[in-house]
Structure 1
Amino acid sequence: MKTSMLSDIQDEVMHKAELDGYIGKFLNNRYLIRDLIGKGGMGRVYLAEDAAKGGMPVAVKILSLSIDNQQISQRFGREIFIGAQLGRKSKQIARVLSYGITDEKIPFYVMEYLQGRNLKAIIKSNSLNLTKSLEILYQICLGLQCAHQGISLKGEIYPVLHRDIKPENIFIAEDPKQGDVVKILDFGIAKFLTERAGMTLTESFIGSLPYCSPEHMEGRKLIDVRSDIYSLGVLMYEMLTGQHPFALKTNSFGDWYQAHKFQVPPTFKEINPDLKIPRELQELVMTCLAKEVKNRPQDMGKILSSLERIQQLENGEVLNSTNQSYNPANVQLVPVTSISEKICLQKTWPVNKPKALICFPHLLQSTQGSIPTLWAMLPKKEIDVLVKQINNTEFIFQKNLYPLLLWVTTLCDKKFDLTRWLSYFLDMKDSKSQKIAQALVNTGYYHLLFFSLENPGKCEKVITLTLCARQRQQIIDCLESIENTKSIIELNESKNMLRLHLEKKKPEIISQLAENQRNQKFSVREWLNYAVSKVSRVVSRPVFRGKSV
Structure 2
Amino acid sequence: MLKPKTEVDVYIGKFLNNRYLIRDLIGKGGMGRVYLAEDAAKGGIPVAVKILMLNLANQQISQRFAREIFIGAQLGRKSKNIVRVLSYGVTEDKTPFYVMEYLQGKNLKQILKVEPLTITKFLDICQQICLGLQCAHQGISLKGEIYPIVHRDIKPENIFLIDNAKSEIVKILDFGIAKFLTERSGMTLTDSFIGSLPYCSPEHMEGRKLLDVRSDIYSLGVLMFEMLTGKHPFQTQSNSFGTWYQAHRFQTPPAFTEVNPQVKVPQELQQLVMSCLAKEVSDRPQNISQILETLESVKLQNYDAQPINNDSLENLSTVQLVPVTSVSEKECLQKTWPKNKPIAPIGFPHLLHTNQGTVATYWAMLSQQEITKFLDKTYGTEFIAKINVYPMLLWVTVLYDAQLSLTRWLSYFLDMKDNRGQKIVRVLAERGYYHLLFFALEEPTRCAHVMTLTLTATQRQQLADWLALNHNSDELISSNQARTLLKTEYEKLKLEILQNLAVNPQISKSSFRTWVSKLFERFFQILAHNN
2:67, 2:176 within 8 Å by CA — same for their partners in 1? Answer: no
Q: Match of 2:156?
A: 167
What's the offset of the Cα at 1:252? 1.1
User: 1:362 and 2:362 equivalent?
Assistant: no
Q: Match of 1:140?
A: 129
Closer, same or farther: CA 257–246 of 1 in aligned 2, 3 Å:
same
Q: Match of 1:275?
A: 263
* Per-residue CA distance 1:326-345 (angstroms, 9 max, x = gap): xxxxxxxxxxxxxx89xx9x
Aligned sequence identity (%): 62
Q: Match of 1:59?
A: 48
Pick one of 293, 302, 306 that aligns with 2:294.
306
CA distance in 1, matches of 2:108, 2:16: 29
Structure 1: gaps (5+ residues): 1-12, 320-339, 345-360, 365-369, 373-389, 397-407, 423-463, 476-497, 504-519
What's the offset of the Cα at 1:264? 1.1
* Per-residue CA distance 1:412-464 (angstroms, 9 max, x = gap): 78999832579xxxxxxxxxxxxxxxxxxxxxxxxxxxxxxxxxxxxxxxxx9
Q: Match of 1:293?
A: 281
Pick one of 485, 490, 502 that aligns with 2:453.
502
Amino acid in structure 2 at the alignment position of 1:139: Q
Closer, same or farther: CA 420–90 of 1 in aligned 2, 3 Å:
same
What's the offset of the Cα at 1:71? 8.0
* Per-residue CA distance 1:329-377 (angstroms, 9 max, x = gap): xxxxxxxxxxx89xx9xxxxxxxxxxxxxxxx3359xxxxx9x9xxxxx
What's the offset of the Cα at 1:306? 0.7
2:360, 2:427 within 8 Å by CA — same for their partners in 1? Answer: no
CA distance in 2, matches of 1:293, 1:133: 24
Closer, same or farther: CA 143–29 of 1 in aligned 2, 3 Å:
same
Pick one of 18, 28, 39 that aligns with 2:17.
28
Closer, same or farther: CA 138–23 of 1 in aligned 2, 3 Å:
same
CA distance in 2, matches of 1:21, 1:305: 49
1:201, 1:223 within 8 Å by CA — same for their partners in 2? Answer: no
Amino acid in structure 2 at the alignment position of 1:142: L
CA distance in 2, matches of 1:69, 1:363: 59
CA RMSD for the aligned pairs?
Answer: 4.6
What's the offset of the Cα at 1:110? 1.4
Q: Match of 1:418?
A: 394
* Per-residue CA distance 1:182-224 (angstroms, 9 max, x = gap): 1101124321111111331442222111101111111122200
2:162 aligned counterpart, secondary structure: strand
Amino acid in structure 2 at the alignment position of 1:418: L
1:276 aligned counterpart, secondary structure: coil
Q: Match of 1:218?
A: 206
What's the offset of the Cα at 1:254? 1.2
What's the offset of the Cα at 1:266? 1.2
Amino acid in structure 1 at the alignment position of 2:197: L
Amino acid in structure 1 at the alignment position of 2:221: G
Pick one of 83, 89, 101 that aligns with 1:112.
101
Q: Match of 2:182?
A: 194
1:21 aligned counterpart, secondary structure: coil
1:202, 1:219 within 8 Å by CA — same for their partners in 2? Answer: no
What's the offset of the Cα at 1:41? 4.0
* Per-residue CA distance 1:2-48 (angstroms, 9 max, x = gap): xxxxxxxxxxx9x946x233322223333221112233444432211
Residues 101-110 or 254-263, more deviating: 101-110
* Per-residue CA distance 1:372-424 (angstroms, 9 max, x = gap): 9xxxxxxxxxxxxxxxxx9989579xxxxxxxxxxx996678999832579xx
CA distance in 2, matches of 1:470, 1:134: 17
CA distance in 2, matches of 1:64, 1:132: 37
1:67, 1:106 within 8 Å by CA — same for their partners in 2? Answer: no
What's the offset of the Cα at 1:154? 1.9
Q: Match of 1:149?
A: 138
1:118, 1:169 within 8 Å by CA — same for their partners in 2? Answer: yes
1:233, 1:288 within 8 Å by CA — same for their partners in 2? Answer: yes
Structure 2: gaps (5+ residues): 318-348, 352-357, 362-380, 399-420, 433-448, 455-477, 507-531
Alignment length (residue pairs): 372
What's the offset of the Cα at 1:473? 11
What's the offset of the Cα at 1:140? 0.4
